[in-house]
Amino acid sequence: MKTIRLELKKRSYDIIVGSNILGRLGRYISKLNIGYDAYVLTNASIKNRYGNSLEKSLKQSGLSVRFKLVPDTEESKSIERASLIIKDLAHYDKAKRIFIVAFGGGVIGDLTGFVASIYKRGVSYLQVPTTLLAQVDSSIGGKTAVDLVEGKNLIGAFYQPRLVLSDVKFLKTLDQRQMRSGLAEVIKYAIIKDKQLFDYLETRYKDILARRELCLEYIVKRCSSIKVNIVSSDEREEKGIRTILNFGHTIGHAIEAAANYKVYNHGEAIAQGMLVATEISKALNLINPKTAQRIESLIKKVGLPVKIEKVALEDIIKAHYRDKKFAGLKNRFVLIKGIGKTKIVENVPLLIIKQAIKKLTNQPHHTA
């Protein structure tokens, strides 16, 4: 077990990573002194599988528990869903000292954080991520959001949790598609910040997919540490440091939106977005073809898509204009100068972007 401290002055908190540690959650919460009544947002499958263990841990520490079930789909990240949860929360909250628990994957975590940030102008919440993607990325750093039809994560706030507890035992029962989706974010961390991690993934990806516990702990601890170092230096993305975490996300989010969140899950779209960003980096002579080939090969080996299907190139282009990193009409891409080295580039020519996407789609495009 490892405790990683995210230092943000009064908003500092621990990320606890280990195996079979859910039973300790109640004790950790009691030490935080954030309340006595847990409002747990989760989905039906997580509640059925792990709900009793979580409830037992909290009740042993004298805490009450109420579960609120939310469908585990991107459609749940909506202002309408958040409103329904807040109404239910308000009914439950009478004469109680409440805190909220995100018990699930990235959708549950984003939605919970958003609800916690706006209910009563902010109540305490904690993250108990159950997917690889959430454990290595979305549960850490305080980015909370819901989607609009017009784009992903367009309504949100920076709002830090009080604790993150990542139990890798949850990953043993994760379906293979979700496991691969999480590996997309692990690969992202390796590409932007850690060549040693990239080498590790190239040699140990089969053990990771086979859920070898030591391998799972290693990648969750490593990625959590990388994210903590980045967020502690640039919590609100004001210095350009945290921006590198968006590698692959400009086009990845556009692919998700262009497909109405129905074709690819988040990790799959980010894998494709990373390949597009890699192609752009190669076209701008920032990396050599060998580096690009290593990245594509690893993404392919773990079973993530290396082709974009059922989504039109022009729809992706249209959706990418809504990216939050745009400065006015200028696009901003996180690109790479090598494995472990990034460069933020503004005003990438549209033709180069289209050509990079086209390599993954095999669709014709117009240069006009």
**For residue 316, is pLDDT > 90?**
yes
**For residue 365, is pLDDT > 60?**
no
Give the pair of three-digit tokens for residue 91. 């009914």
Instruction: Give the pLDDT of residue 324.
Output: 67
- Map tokens 């919440």 to a residue: 125
From 188, 222, 246, 331, active-site residue = 246
Of these ranges, 176-180, 240-244, 326-330, 362-366, the one predicted with the greatest mean pLDDT is 176-180
Total number of residues shown for the chain: 368
From 68, 81, 253, 332, active-site residue = 253
Instruction: Give the pLDDT of residue 327.
Output: 66
The one-letter code for the residue type at 160 is: Q
Instruction: Give the pLDDT of residue 322.
Output: 80
In whole angstroms, give the CA distance from residue 354 to residue 340.
25
Instruction: Give the pLDDT of residue 150.
Output: 77
Active site residue 185: yes
Of the given ranges (211-215, 255-259, 271-275), which has the lowest mean pLDDT? 255-259
Active site residue 227: yes
Active site residue 242: yes
Instruction: Give the pLDDT of residue 364.
Output: 47
- How sure is the predictor about 291, in pLDDT bands with cuts at 50, 70 and 90? very high
Active site residue 366: no
**For residue 329, is pLDDT > 90?**
no
| Model pLDDT for residues 160-171, shown as the tens digit of each residue | 999 999 999 999
| Model pLDDT for residues 132-182, shown as the tens digit of each residue | 999 999 999 999 999 988 778 889 999 999 999 999 999 999 999 999 999
Tell me if 85 sits within 8 A of 59, measured CB to CB: no
Residue-averaged pLDDT of the chain: 94
Q: What is the torsional sign of CA 80, 86, 88, 90?
A: negative
Active site residue 91: no
In whole angstroms, give the CA distance from residue 104 to residue 112.
10
Tell me if 128 sits within 8 A of 102, measured CB to CB: yes
In whole angstroms, give the CA distance from residue 149 to residue 324.
15
**For residue 129, is pLDDT > 80?**
yes
Active site residue 9: no
From 193, 227, 332, 354, active-site residue = 227
**For residue 363, is pLDDT > 60?**
no
Tell me the CA distances in angstroms from 159 to 122, 144, 177, 300, one per residue in order. Answer: 8, 7, 29, 35
Active site residue 206: no
The domains of the chain, with CATH numbers, are 2-173 (3.40.50.1970), 177-361 (1.20.1090.10)
Q: CA angle, 125 as apex, 120 and 126 as ends, to 5°? A: 175
**For residue 367, is pLDDT > 70?**
no
From 185, 256, 268, 279, active-site residue = 185
Active site residue 246: yes
From 9, 10, 94, 121, active-site residue = 121
pTM of the entire structure? 0.94
